[in-house]
Structures are given as C-alpha cells and as structure tokens.
Chains A and B, each alone.
Chain A
C-alpha cells in the first residue's frame, strides 16, 4: 500500500503487516514464568450503583420501610445468609459464591464523602482524600513504583478506546486496547511506520522525544498484544453483550499469557434516579452474567487462582428512595471480589447498619484505600505507601 492511499482515504485500515526489524523479537514466555503471574481485574460500575439493591439487606426491616416501591421481595431474592441476598438479576453469581470464589466487603467509602459523580470518581481513581486533588491515578502510580520491573505500557491494559485517569502515572501509563487487531492495524499505517523507524534512536528528553517514545512504545506494545493474544482461541461461551465481550477479551489476554498485571473495564448506566428497578436490573444482569462467564472461563483454564477481580462504583445511593421510584446519590457502598484464592470467602464484614445513618446516608466502615492497600501489598507486591502516599493497614481478603 502506498503512503498516499492512506492520506486519501484516512480510513486507517491498512493491510500491511510488516514486522519492523528494530522491534525486539516476540519471545514466548516459558510456562514456569507464567505460573504464579498474578492479575488484577478492576471493574468500574459508573454512575453510582445502588449497593443496597445489589446485595440486598433483606433481613433488616428498615430496608423495606425506606423503599416501599423499589425494595425487592424476599421471595424474589437469591439469599446468601439470613441478612443479605443477591439481586435476582445477579443469580449467575450464586454459583461463584457457593464455590467460594466471591467475597463481598460491605460499607466501603471514605471520610467527608462527595456526592458529585465526577469528583467521587476522581477520588476513587486517584485514591486521594476528599479534599485533595491528584493528577495521577492509583494504578498509574503503581506502574511508577514498579517501573524497573514493569516498564511496558501493556503492564496495565484498559479494555476501552480511551485511558482512564486511574491508569495514568507520572512516568508510566497503561494502554487502552478495545480490540488488539484494530490497535495493531492503526499503528501499522505505513506513514506512521516510517516515522517510527526513523526515530528509533537518539530520542531527546524534551516533549518531542516524549511523543516519539510514546509512539514507539505503542507500536511495540500493539505488536506484542496482538501476537500474544492471537495464540489463544476462546473456548468458553460468553453472553452477547458489549461488557461480556470486554471481559472475554481480558480472559483471552490472561489465557494467552500476556504479561499484564492490571486490567481495567467499565460498565455504565447506574445513575438510577428514576424507575430504578428495570434500569439497574438490566445493568446488573449484564454485569452478573458476564462476570460468571469470565470466572468460569478462568477456572476452566486454570487461571482463576492467579486472578483477582474487584468491582467498585464511585458511591452508593441514599437509603431512602426518592419520589420517582429511584434513588439519589449516597455514600458508602459494597465492593465485590472474585478469585480462586480468596482468604475470606463470602461476606467479609457486617451488613450495612441501616439504623445508624449519617443524615440519611450509610456510614462507611472500610476506607476504600484499605482495599487498594490490600491489593497492592498482597496481590501486586508493592508497598502500598509508595502508591497511596500514606500507609494503610489493609484488610485480610487475600
């Protein structure tokens, strides 16, 4: 393909699959190197998922009193113990729960909670205090702290077409890959290829050097991700949803042996101010069915022990419903975990105390940074202080 064709069409769907000589040859990892290579999968539920209608405290009368039109009847619920139950749309998770592959941490939040979506999401993604503004994300800072070992962008992969703040550090950033083939083809535009090959060496420390360095890393990572992931063919069945497809991609990456430590996936549509039952139910069904397929896929391929999945949302919702059969922005929320090596399976701590509220909102009992600290110390093997700024004690779920 001639360069000019690209410039005419700019459809950027090149057919040239050249592997430039300056790229390091792709090396398959030895199998012993692969075992024990632990992955963290972060699932973000955007919009403020209503935790109380997700893991339902059906054993507490206050739940039914405060939510007369949107409470879920005990007979419809999937019970976990005599206090808490799964929303019926999460029925697929029951099997995971019974197998000991699921854990639920109740009442996770932070002091002086912010009810604005973007600010609270910012706080969760940067792991800041609520009166602190950070310009880097917590996974990004994990990459920074570990940059001598994990020096490639694909150490942290977001299955999306843009990169979240959570994945951006000072020195290091993750890479967004919606579709490995597409990313690969984009980078292989002959014109870009020429530019990359001409700038392979002698990059300056200035911004131009930084741009070329990023371009070259993207070029090389796209190649690595494409070549590695295509060696694995997915056998497991996944639901036909966009979100399930993203998790299917994550599983493909893990099963093919990609040297990625952190995966990031988001699901939108949880800001349910009106007619919540249907809206949230629909999103939870998408979530639960996809996660169940994903976890079972990894169990089948023997990777579940090396994988930890965590799900969060920027805040929970108020205990009392509103007048539009929905719920408004609240505070503390549950965090769900999945994996083959959970230390405390099932429900980690007490159900939220609906009797002791702070101005109608749940009080947090676990700081979300203690959850992060646990993931950093015990799963990603990096001292949490180097990422979180101050040292957090952490929990005991892995």
Chain B
C-alpha cells in the first residue's frame, strides 16, 4: 500500500476520514509525518461549555405539586440535552482534533452512561475528552467520581451496612477486567470499599465518611481496609484490564474479530506504560498489521461515524439541527443515550433491513436537500414528555434543509486528480467492477460522488 493509502486508512480509523483538500497536503507526505500531524492536531482538548446551569437543583427546590413548573423544567432540560448532543456532533464535524474526538467517542461508549442531568452529562463528556489520549487510570478515577456515573450506577445509595453493588459490578464487568475474572464475593467486598462515594450539590465528588465502611475487605485474595481507590489500583495491577481494554479498542480501530496476537502485543505496551493511551495508539498506528488488507475498508461505520464523516467531507450546514437528532434515532445511535451500561454493541449489529436502507438514503438526501420520510422511535426516557402531549403530530415527510458546500468541495480537489482518486477518498472499501462502472458512467464529479455515497461500500471505513 502507498503511503497515501495508509494515511487514508489511518484517518478513516483514527478520525472520521480524509477530505478532498487533504489530498494536496498528504500526497507528498510520509506516513510517519502524517501520524505526527494526527496527534499534533489533537494535542489540546476543547471542552463543551454549552450547559452552564444545573437545572436539577432548581427542580429539586421547586414545589413538587406545581405541575406547570415541573413541566417547564423538564422541557428546558430536554432542550439542554438536545443542544448538548448537537454541540458535540458539530464539534466532531468541524474540529481538526479528529483523533481526540474519535477517542472521546470510544470512551463515551466504554463508560456508557445516561444522565437525566445534561450538566452532569456534559461534565462526564469533558472528562472523557480531556483524558481521551492521556492516562487510563486518571480517566477511570475521574469517571468513577463523576456525578453522572455515581448517579447512574446508584453509588449515592451505596452506604455502610446497606451496600449497593451496582457500581462495583459494572466497574469489573464493563470498565476493567471483564466477565469471568472476578467472583460475586469480589463484588460484594469491593462494593463496601465504595460506600460513601457521592457528590454534593455543586456537582463535586465527596467521600461521606460516616457512610463509608471502614472494615476489612477481602478482594481478589488480598485483605485490608480497602478504600475505593485501592480497589481501582488493584484492578489496574491485573493485566487482564489491559487486555480487556485493548480487545475493545482493537474492535473499534482495527477489526470486528480480534486477533489474539495483536491484542496481546497491544496489552503489553499498554500495561508497561502504566496505562498511557497515546503510546498505545502510536504503537497500533505503526504496526504493519494495522494496514494489512484484511484490516482496511472493512469496519462498519457507526451511525455517528457515518453522519460526521459526511458532514466533514461535504461541509454540511443543517438549517434544522433536529434533522441530526432524527438521523441518530433512525440509525440507532443517539449520543448520550446508550442502549444500556454495556454501550452500543457495534459492528454488524448496526445493520438490519430498515437501518441499512435508511443509511443508504441519508447521504444523498443530505447532499440534495431531499425528503426525509423516516423517523425512528422515541427513546423510552422521552415517554413522560410524550404522555403530556395529547395531540402528537402524525409522522410527515419533511425536507432535510441541508446545504453542502459543493463549491468548496469541487475547488478543493487538486488539479490533475482523476475521478478514481476522488472515488478512493470517498470510499475506504476496495473498489470492485460495479463501482468502477459507476465511476466510468458518471458524467461529472458531483453526480459520481452522490452515487458513491449511496453504495454499501460507503458504509465501511
């Protein structure tokens, strides 16, 4: 594979894909330099700062019988949730820090969490972003001590004498060593170590000493008056945590089907570096296997990858941002609304008859301001709002109200670029005879592009 081919692959997996104007930049660049560039662009973290008010406090202090006020708060919170979702999607769609956002999305799924409180959801998202390329231990600790996660996994209710095991269970099953590597007894004992972990009404982590069980616990063969931090440290000392994270990361960046040799090489690097994320990523991006044909152009894009990639490549402007919500619902991935604490399973599970047809239609609809006639289901958490709406609108057909910047796209194509080269920026998957025919038959670049984004090949990265 040429260096340009490798760079395209790198950006497809470590980011959301190359743009046509990147062709000029990368045509004469080495892979090494392009990799450095990738990390450099992501050196700083731009937090989301949209939500400035914690409405839950206001709601808590309001009169409970005042249904009108309650409804108003619910509506405001709903607006905040939507604004936050769109702000992140827009950030992914425009930022030069592609790698950081792509990894934030990875941690967003790894530490899957739903918060009724958009202020806390934003806070957790920013923790995941600022540590996305940093140290996993710091990330894990900050996530575990965030109000969103403490609330989501019921640790506010985890008290001395009345332990709530939810957080301890998910910490092991989903965040660190994975199923099969701990006993029910380990969960019970470690839950006691996390008693008293909570947050105050400023949204800050606190250890409520009088609720903390200071007794001795026996965890994974060791005995002591362990605190929560000790449990987390012990879990990280276990190399299974490195393997578990690397398996998940491999499936996210490399292939649905983990290759145990590659994963174990990754786990070695990760463990030896004390869970530093950047050296691990640099290791992966420098291996030969990352660029092997079996690992290129064969991952099914997540709905967010699909939408963001399209937005980035064609500089899409959404006159009605609700359309982006509609796409997420119809495709089965709404940011901040994972299906459960295990996150979105990914891979082939994105695809069924209806989601595939919708996925095939969305790109051309967005590029042509076409008609949207699919809606997706309401999230279960929206039911309370739905119940208060007596005359819900019948589902209708609406224009997408999207404008791509075709002029920029067409002008950005370097002079002398062939149609085949443009096609290979759009599609990561191998170009077979039927795609070659599409390219050959198209009368101009623009119609060729619209056809290419309507192929199943475009669903892969």
Q: Which residues of A contact B (CB under 8 A)?
A: 3-4, 6-13, 46-48, 116-119, 121-122, 131, 133, 135, 153, 160-165, 167-168, 173-176, 182-183, 186-187, 191-192, 194-195, 198-199, 206-208, 210-212, 214-215, 217-218, 221, 242, 266, 268-275, 278-280, 282-283, 314, 323-324
Contacts and interface: CB of A to CB of B under 8 A. Distances in A.
Contacts of B148: none
B364 A268 contact: no
Interface in B359-418: 360-361, 364-365, 367-368, 370-371, 373-381, 383-384, 386-390, 392, 394-395
B352 A214 contact: yes
A22 to B, nearest CB: 14
Given A153-B352, A192-B360, A215-B356, 11 more contacts: A46-B378, A118-B340, A122-B340, A163-B354, A175-B352, A214-B351, A218-B356, A242-B395, A270-B387, A280-B387, A323-B65
Contact of A273 (B345, B384, B456): B384
Nearest to A187: B357
B299 interface: yes
Interface residues on B, range: 35 or more
A118 B339 contact: yes
Contacts of B332: 162
Contact of B380 (A3, A10, A118, A221): A118
Contact of B384 (A47, A186, A195, A278): A47
B353 A47 contact: no
A279 B70 contact: no
B122 to A, nearest CB: 20
A161 B330 contact: yes
A208 B457 contact: yes
Contact of B374 (A135, A161, A214): A161
A164 B371 CA distance: 24
B342 A135 contact: yes
B341 interface: yes
Nearest to B64: A323
A122 B381 CA distance: 12
B354 A176 contact: yes
B112 to A, nearest CB: 10
Contacts of B450: 7
A12 B361 contact: yes
Contacts of A199: 434
Interface of B: 64-65, 67, 70-71, 114, 169, 256, 297-300, 329-330, 332, 337, 339-342, 345, 347-349, 351-358, 360-361, 364-365, 367-368, 370-371, 373-381, 383-384, 386-390, 392, 394-395, 429, 433-434, 437, 447, 450-451, 454-457, 459-460
Contacts of A13: 371
Contacts of B114: 116, 118
Given A133-B340, A271-B386, A195 B456 contact: yes
A332 to B, nearest CB: 18
B340 A207 contact: no
A208 B460 contact: yes
Contacts of A275: 67, 388
Nearest to A182: B373
Contacts of B456: 195, 208, 211-212, 215
Contacts of A122: 339-340
Nearest to A279: B387
B67 A324 contact: yes
A165 B345 CA distance: 11
